[in-house]
Structure 1
Amino acid sequence: MPRYSPWEEKGRSLRRWIERYHEPGCPYPKSTFAVTYYPQPRDYSVTHESASLDSTWDTWIYPHDLPTELNKIEIKNRKGPPVGWEGRTGQGVVFLDWIRRSRRSAAPHMSEFTKAAYEMDFPLRSLKYVFVTDISETDTVECIRDEVYKSEGIAYPSSEQEIWDSPSREFDALLGTTMGKAVAAFVLCAWGQGTKRIARIITFHNGEYLQRLNMRFDIEDI
């Protein structure tokens, strides 16, 4: 039995779909969904403004070659069950700051919104990093806090950045969380199978009391 069941099993399947062109059963086809600032989409409102990166982020967790001036983007549906994507983009990086999609909605999945948001300003081939910030989602927190960190003897919250390289049991477990799955699905809907891979996941806390859990996903060519 996997050490981090059921997350590890889910993550292993996602990793194989991402890395292997002919791995069967992948439920995430490449997406053609797109939105624009102007003209505004019929079904969604799209707003954007400039935003600066928090100065407390160090150059290790936020690589120095990435921009500190970002585009803050909000995409929300105009009617129907609630759907919303809030994040920031810059050349080479996208932040998922808040996402919501009602289970009753027939809208595209959040992975497709992530792709659409980045492509409004930058070519998809330039993307290297995906950050998921201020995570409170229960499934992801429980996996990191109660399983991975506990098994590795790591304090939670931690003042250190923890690196989880692929392939490893810990990497697969993190990829199998709700937030990990959202990024894995994004990679698949953006590039398809066997083109890009998630090379590592970094988990870290920030805030005055280390109250905010974040994840960084590093994307590389296969």
Structure 2
Amino acid sequence: MSDNYIQWIIRGQIQQKWIENCGAGCWYPISTFFLMPRHQDYTVDRTSVKLDAKLLTVLNMNNANSTYRKISITQRDEGPPVWWIGRTGPGVIIIDDIFRSKRSEDPYISEFTMAVYKMDFPLDSLKKVFVPNVNERNTLSCVKEVYKTRERIRYPSSAEQTWEPSSSEFHALLGIGIGKLIAAFVLCAWGQGKKRIARIVTFHVGADVHKLYMRFDLEDM
């Protein structure tokens, strides 16, 4: 077990305590940021789309007849870059491509994620957050180490792996990269002690070993 992995576990434990409202010093206040189709600071592109049936199967979703929104947010000025690209639907956010420069003074990606969903759906209806094609380096490193903790599981694996909140693997995934983003999103959207991340699911699609999918299931506390 690497030193980095131990640090990820510790960070994840702290994040989980903040979410459960049993840890002091939470860094993430509830956000008041909101988006409108015509925003003075950002270009907001919204298009109604239908999700591909194969994607719905991969994501274990059965609401094929629902209309989804493909949403792209980019800044209007020439400051440090920030963008949010993804899709939303009833009960789900799919995060496709995100970036925020460390020099940026714009809202955090977690706040954009909250504001994007609230444009079309009530926040409390959200059940799942998907991140397809995860390519954040530290997250990938963490997932590879997590897989080593399970006997007879190699990375990558087409078999769906579920990580429960009581496990050190869950804490590691929550303490780095994409996991930190989703934890921050929960805290800035609902505050402490309201919603929890009930499980984290990781998987690859068939023989496409280059695309890691992550799913975060949300439940009321």
TM-score by length of 1: 0.92
Partner of 2:150: 152
Pick from 69, 72, 94: which aligns with 1:71? 69
- 1:32 has 2:32 as partner: yes
Does structure 1 residue 55 correspond to structure 2 residue 53? yes
Asked if structure 2 preserves the Cα contact closer than 8 Å seen for 1:66 and 1:92, the reply is: no
Q: Distance in 2 between matches of 1:46 and 1:204?
A: 31
Shift of 1:133: 1.4
Aligned partners of 1:85 and 1:98 also within 8 Å? yes
**Matches for 1:1-222 after TM superposition, within 5 Å:** 4-20=5-21, 22-37=22-37, 40-57=38-55, 59=57, 61-65=59-63, 69-79=67-77, 80-145=79-144, 147-153=145-151, 154-206=153-205, 208-222=207-221
8 A Cα contact 2:51 2:64, kept in partner: no
Corresponding residue SS for 2:204: strand
Q: Secondary structure at the match of 2:44?
A: strand
Deviations 1:118-164 (A, max 9, x none): 0000000100001111111100000001x111221421111111001
Structure 2 residue matching 1:6: 3-state secondary structure: helix
| Distance apart, 1:51 and its partner CA | 2.5
Provide the aligned C-alpha RMSD in A: 1.9
Stretches (4+) displaced over 6 A: none
Q: How many residues align?
A: 218
Instruction: Give SS of 1:158's match.
Output: coil
The aligned amino acid for 2:219 is E
Q: Counterpart amino acid of 1:160?
A: A
SS in 1 for 2:6: coil
Which has the higher mean CA deviation after the structures are superposed, 179-188 or 22-31?
22-31
Deviation, 1:58, is 5.7
In 1: Cα distance, 2:211 partner to 2:51 partner: 16
User: Secondary structure of the equivalent of 1:35?
Assistant: coil
Unpaired runs of 5+ residues, structure 2, are: none
Question: Equivalents in 1 of 2:65, 2:29: separation in Å?
Answer: 30
Residue 50 of structure 2 contacts residue 65 of structure 2 at CA under 8 Å; is this kept in 1?
A: no
Deviation digits for residues 167-187 of structure 1, max 9, x if unmatched? 211110111121000000000
For normalisation by structure 2, the TM-score amounts to 0.92
| Residues 69, 90 of structure 1: 8 Å contact kept | yes
Identity %: 50
Unaligned runs of 5+ in 1: none
Contact 1:2 1:9 in 2 (8 A): no
| Residues 96 and 130 in structure 1, CA contact (< 8 A), matched pair in contact too | yes
